[in-house]
Structures are given as C-alpha cells and as structure tokens.
Chains A and B, each alone.
Chain A
Amino acid sequence: MSYLEFLGQYGDRILSGTLVTIVLTVLAAVLAVAIAVAAGLMRLSRNALIRGVATVYIEIFRGTSLLVQLYWIFFVLPLFGITLEKFTAGFVAVGMNLGAYGAELVRGAILSVPKGQWEAALALNMSPAKRMYRVILPQAVLIMLPPWGNLLIELLKGTALVSLIAVADLMFQVKQINGTTFLSAQSFGTALIIYYVLARFLLTPFMRWLERFMQRKLGRA
C-alpha cells in the first residue's frame, strides 16, 4: 500500500483524531491558565493557609507524573463518588498538571514587575485588587507569555496520554490503525508530523501574535 493510498483510506480517521486533540488542547489550556492564575496568586497571599494550599497543590502535581495523575483521576476518583467521563477526565488531568507548572510562571512574572509600579499604584491610592488587575497583571502577562508558549507545547504533547484511557484523539486513532494494518512507520510517522505541525505552525505563531498584541495594548510595540 502506497502512502497516498494509506492517507486516502485512513485520512478521515486521522483528521477526526486531530480535531479531538485540538479540542482537548484548547479545553486543557483554558483550565490550566485559570488554575495557574489562581494558584499563582494564592502563592503570593499573606495568609499562610492560602499559601499552603497552593503550595501543596503545586508540589503534588509537579512531583508526580501526568500519567499517574490521569489514571488516578480516571480510576480512583470514582471511588470517592466523583465519576468523570473519559474525555472530561482527560482534559482535567492535563489542565490540572500544566496549571501547576503555570502557577510558578505566574508567580515569577508577578514578582518581576518592577517595584516602582507597585509603589506608584500605592501612591495613587489604588485598592490592592485594582492594583493587581489594572497595573501589575497586564505587565506580568507580557513577561510570562514566552515561557507560556513552551508550556502550551508541553500541554499539547500531554494530551497524547489521554489515548491510554481510550479518548479517541490523534494518538488513539493511529494506535488503532497500527493495530489493524501493522503499517507503523506510516501511522505513527503521520501522527508525529501532525503534532509537529500543530506545535510549530499553529501554537507558536499564535503565541507570537499574542505577544505582539499584548505589547501593542501596553504601548510597547
């Protein structure tokens, strides 16, 4: 079977898998950003309890494997009465894992906003919440966008693991195709190229665009 015939026969399955991977990536990214901002801010709280909760969360999710967390959420959480459908379990695990890594980026970026900005906001009598949302966070976003680009590529790669709990993403589809045709180079090779294209020609340019957009918004273009 030539490679073109292979694509003709299995192209639609590969395409549907790719779409599932993209949807998973977007959902997990939204969750990861929300968790990262929340946990990152909690880590900077003056309240030791709030700080402690965030630290425990971050250390647990950064200290164990994504695969362990995924299996735990999918197989063990139902025993506590929380049953997640496999698709949900998949993006929740990926989002919670990468959110823990993102929290450290958020914390670092907030701390690296120049001290004068905090003092100026204080001098203008801004409330702490207003200072954070109007002065500190927008500048912190600009600082943390480049490392977030790398993190989102990690997130995209992480979604491949959900195939192990039978979510029909790209990885799962090519594994199935490989199982029936034994054309490993074609099936796994195609998937490798698709992941590469998604990361390099979709995710990376999007993050570049976002950086330029934020720079213009802050008048730093």
Chain B
Amino acid sequence: MLDWNWQFTWEILPRLIVATGNTLLAAGLGYGIAVVIGLVFALAQRTPFSVVTIVVREAVEFIRSTPLVLQIFFVFYVGPQFGIRLSPWTAGMIAIGLHYAAYLSEVYRGGIESVPKGQWEAATSLNLSTARTYFRVVIPQALPPSLAGMGNYLVGIFKDTPMLSVIGVAELMHTANAIGSETYRFLEPYTLVGVIFLLISLPTAAGIRLFEGWVRRKLGMVS
C-alpha cells in the first residue's frame, strides 16, 4: 500500500496518544457541563412561567439548528470584542457544553414526559414538594428511558471534539494538523486519528448498550 512509513508512525504515535488524552478530557468536561445545563434547560421548560418556557424553548431550538463550529468561533471571538478574554479551552467547553446541553435537554424532556401521570398525582396526594417530586419520584424514573439518548450524545460529543482544533485546543485533530504542517506527511497522522476515533467510539457505543440493558434489568424494566 503506497508509502506508509512505519518508522514515522511510531515517531508520531506518542504525540497522538498524549493528544488523545486531551480529546477525552475535552469530551468528558464538555459532557459534564452538558448533563447539568441540559437538565436546567429541560426543567426550565416545565416552569409555570410561560415566558421562561418560550425563551428557553427557542434558545434550545436555535442552538440545535446552528453549526457547532460556528458557535465555537462565536464564543471565542465575541468575548474579546466586549473585553472578555476566554482561553481556547474555556471558550471551547462553553460552546460544546451548551450545544450538547440543548440536545440532552430534549432527551430529558422525552424521559420526563414518559413518566406516567399517576406518578405525579401520587406525589401530589402525598403532599411532596415540587423539588422532592422531581428528585425522588420523577427523575429516577425518567433516567432509564433517557439512557440510550444520553449514551449516543456521549459518543457524539467525543466525535465533535475535533472542531475545537479551529480555535487551537491541542486535541487530536489539532496535533495531527501540526504534524502534517511540520512534516508534509498527511497520510499517517490523519489515518491514525481516524483509527484512534474508531478504537474508542465503537467499544464505547457497545459498552453503553450493555450498560443500558443492565440498568433496565436492574430496575425490572426488561421489555
């Protein structure tokens, strides 16, 4: 096969593996932000204040229908215009975290809506406070049906981290670009990046499916 250079491959592999660590860190941090903010987005759409509901609903729609790479640029470059300087990591985490928060809020919304009405009524009749109703009754039941969607977006956020390279976050794609421009060899770095992504995302996706089945069995929800 053309001129694949194994020696060059072994030379750049350590750099790529270090960068893989950054990629995983970025995906993990971004996902952590998304999981929390997503819940806020989902709950904000259920408040009795219709203004809040409409504003959050439209914001979620807006974030979901515009490109992540554009949002990353927006967050990174608009701050300095108003005197707020964000590091690439901070800007990247805000952008990717908010983007996936919008997606996850839809997953949560579906999960919450799948909780039977009787559960709400039972919580009301037991005089549980709103917070207690959510955290002790509704959310625990809304979680299992949300797990599949949450897992998909965990893999999704991981695959979207290369976009952070555009503002200079030193993750996998950024490192491969750097190697490419230093050595004028693109075959090995880009192919290795693809292989590393496959090696991580395929087992993760399979693992998530197993975990989901395990949770369902654990909760006696086998279908």
Contact = CB atoms under 8 A, between A and B. Distances in A.
Contacts of B68: 157
Contacts of A185: 78, 81-82
B211 interface: no
- Interface bracket on A: 35 or more
A161 B186 CA distance: 19
Most chain A CB neighbours (cut-off 10 Å) among B61, B78, B176: B78
Nearest first, the 10 closest Cβ-Cβ pairs linking A and B are A160-B67, A199-B65, A184-B77, A75-B186, A157-B67, A64-B197, A188-B74, A67-B162, A65-B159, A195-B66
Given A79-B2, A153-B65, A182-B81, A68 B70 contact: no
Given A60-B194, A80-B2, A157-B67, 12 more contacts: A64-B201, A65-B163, A67-B173, A68-B194, A71-B177, A75-B190, A158-B67, A161-B163, A175-B73, A184-B80, A189-B78, A195-B67
B62 interface: yes
B66 A192 contact: yes
B202 interface: yes
A63 interface: yes
19 contacts: A59-B198, A63-B205, A64-B198, A65-B159, A65-B162, A67-B173, A68-B162, A68-B193, A68-B197, A71-B186, A75-B180, A75-B190, A76-B186, A80-B2, A153-B64, A184-B74, A189-B74, A195-B67, A199-B66
B69 A188 contact: no
Interface string A66-101: 111101100110011000000000000000000000
B53 interface: no
Interface residues of B, number: 41
Q: Is the interface of B mostly helix, strand, loop or mixed?
A: helix
Nearest to A183: B81
A191 B68 CA distance: 12
B133 to A, nearest CB: 31
A64 B204 CA distance: 12
B65 A195 contact: yes
Contacts of B80: 184
A196 interface: yes
Contacts of B176: 71
B90 interface: no
A49 B162 CA distance: 33
A89 to B, nearest CB: 13
B55 interface: no
A164 interface: yes
A99 B55 CA distance: 34
Contacts of B71: 192
Contacts of A163: 69
A191 B205 CA distance: 33
B221 interface: no
Nearest to B176: A71
Nearest to B193: A68
Interface in B26-44: none
Most chain B CB neighbours (cut-off 10 Å) among A64, A160, A174: A64
A215 interface: no
B160 interface: yes
A177 B212 CA distance: 47
A63 B81 contact: no
B187 interface: yes
Interface string B176-209: 1100100000110011011001100110010000
Interface string A157-189: 111110110000001001100100011110011
A153 B186 CA distance: 31
Contacts of A79: 2-3, 186-187
B166 interface: yes
B9 to A, nearest CB: 14
A192 B190 contact: no
